[in-house]
Amino acid sequence: LIVQPGFFPTNWFAAAEAMGKASRAATVASRKTGAYTDIYGLSARILPYNLSIRCVGDKDKAAQRMYEVVTGKGLAEGLDLKKDWIRLLLGKDSGERYVRKMQTWKENIDATEKIWSSTELDPAKVEEMRKEAGLN
């Protein structure tokens, strides 16, 4: 199960920054790849941003929900977790981000259906290949 939280005020960024020189060196190195650019000082910007959009998760509630999903109790009681459900979204911002992404994917799939559905082999060729492969 992959837990994908939104914003929860914890000491995660502050702890990363507390590494000081190593943290700043990692930031400089990441600029070369474009990954995690300007992470040093990020915690000072994240809380004000999330307060401005009124999206601040309660870490205790998040921990409780994770426990409930694992134990099948509380809000997760009776929830039939499918085998291919690998993500547990926590926080309104996380859930809404995924809803927007899924809507974009759905629009893309619908708009290009004529293209992606037109690329199969001719059924007669498939049958010929099946016979050659020893399939009936």
pLDDT tens figures, 10-56 = 877 667 666 666 666 666 666 677 666 566 666 677 778 878 888 88
pLDDT band (50, 70, 90) for residue 86: confident
CB atoms within 10 A of CB 57: 19
What is the domain partition of the chain in residue ranges? 1-90, 91-136
pLDDT at residue 35, rounded to an integer: 63
With a cut of 70, say whether residue 59 has pLDDT above it. yes
With a cut of 70, say whether residue 73 has pLDDT above it. yes
CA 78 from centre of chain: 24
Q: Which residues pair with 17 in a beta bridge?
A: none
Q: Report if pTM > 0.75.
A: no
- The string of DSSP codes covering 77-129 is TT----TT--EEEESHHHHHHHHHHHHHHHHHHHHTHHHHTT-SPPHHHHHHH
Query: Which percentage of the chain shows pLDDT scores above 70?
Result: 79
CA 114 from centre of chain: 29
pLDDT at residue 49, rounded to an integer: 81
